[in-house]
């Protein structure tokens, strides 16, 4: 078999892993996030989960994921910040009443809270934000499929869907989040009231 030639300066190099994530999300108020943290510990214990719980300041419901990058994509941030203030809808209630693992082919699976099936306003907000993004030329990040959930932790165990005591909060705004990947920190870059 012939050998592949490698020219000086053109060696195949692995791309660096992304350091920065960007997404639009709903973030629970601090008191609700603390209550969710307590619930996570109860659920971890009752299901024998060992995955590390997300800290209260990282709990969120993703509306649209905008990608992972090496450094913060300032132009994308500016375009998003110019596009989404046009979204207009009244505040609404969100509630979660189920917990389960999302199956996937990775070693660890997201263990999540799911919003009630009767919630209408959250998918409406998702669509409205997506439409504002598409009008601004950001259609590649505006997902049409939406499964409202809040990730609590990642674990190897697969937990079947189960009911939990319903709880939630009044959604009054949404946030542009800069996630410092592998550093377990979220920075809120902008916030828009409903």
Sequential DSSP letters for 38-101:
HHHHHHHHHHT--SPPPPGGG--EEEEEEEEESS--HHHHHHHHHHGGG-----EEEEEEEEEE
Mean pLDDT of 49-77: 96
Could you read off the pLDDT of 90-128 as tens digits, one per residue? Answer: 999 999 999 999 988 788 899 999 987 768 999 999 999
Could you read off the pLDDT of 115-173 as tens digits, one per residue? Answer: 877 689 999 999 999 999 999 999 999 988 999 999 999 999 999 999 998 889 999 99
What CATH code would you report for 20-183?
3.90.1140.10
**Measured CA distances, 109 to 74, 95, 132, 144, 152 (Å):** 31, 22, 32, 23, 11
How is the chain split into domains, by residue range? 20-183
Rounded to two decimals, what is the model's pTM?
A: 0.88
């Amino acid at each position: 078999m012939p050998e592949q030639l490698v020219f000086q300066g053109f060696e195949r190099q692995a791309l660096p892993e992304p350091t920065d994530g960007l997404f639009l999300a709903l973030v629970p108020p601090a008191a609700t996030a603390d209550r969710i943290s307590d619930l996570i510990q109860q659920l971890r214990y009752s299901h024998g989960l060992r995955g590390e719980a997300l800290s209260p300041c990282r709990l969120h419901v993703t509306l649209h994921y905008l990608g992972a990058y090496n450094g913060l994509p300032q132009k994308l941030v500016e375009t998003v910040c110019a596009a989404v203030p046009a979204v207009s809808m009244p505040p609404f209630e969100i509630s979660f009443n189920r917990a389960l693992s999302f199956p996937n082919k990775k070693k660890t699976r997201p263990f999540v809270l799911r919003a009630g099936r009767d919630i209408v306003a959250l998918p409406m907000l998702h669509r409205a934000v997506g439409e504002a993004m598409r009008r601004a030329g950001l259609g590649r990040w505006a997902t049409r499929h939406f499964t409202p959930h809040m990730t609590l932790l990642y674990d190897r165990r697969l937990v079947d869907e189960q009911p939990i005591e319903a709880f939630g909060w009044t959604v009054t705004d949404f946030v542009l989040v800069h996630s410092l990947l592998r550093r377990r920190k979220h920075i809120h870059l902008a916030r828009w009231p409903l």
